Amino acid sequence: MEKRKKTKIISCEEAMGIMFEYIDGVLAGKHHSELEQHVETCRGCLKKVEFQLKLKKRLISVKPVSISKNLSKRLSLILED
């Protein structure tokens, strides 16, 4: 008889803590299984994961915009502060 490993039940807070790794495709092993099991039973977290997946897909499709050298310099100065 085959033994099946039990997947730990994680909280919404834990699920959201690993959500972006899941979305980026770098979450593996038990954490991947835990998150998938959690979103199967938690509609709120499922909606958050679905939203982030759609957002990522949309952002990837946006083409970069060129900015002037003046604006680039001003932004660099702001970020240095």
Position 57 in a domain: yes
Position 24 in a domain: yes
- Confirm whether pTM is higher than 0.75: no
In the chain, how many domains are there? 1
Instruction: For residues 57 and 36, give the distance between their C-alpha atoms in angstroms, rounded to a whole number.
Output: 20
Position 55 in a domain: yes
Position 3 in a domain: no
Sequence-distant (6+) residues with CB within 8 A of 34 are 7, 8, 9, 10, 14, 15, 18
Position 37 in a domain: yes
Secondary structure class of 23 (helix, strand, coil): helix
> What is the number of residues in the chain?
81
Angle, in degrees to the nearest 10, between helices 12-23 and 43-61: 20
Position 48 in a domain: yes
Position 43 in a domain: yes
Tens digits of residue pLDDT in 19-71: 999 999 999 999 999 999 999 999 999 999 999 999 999 999 998 889 999 99
Range of the domain at 55: 12-80
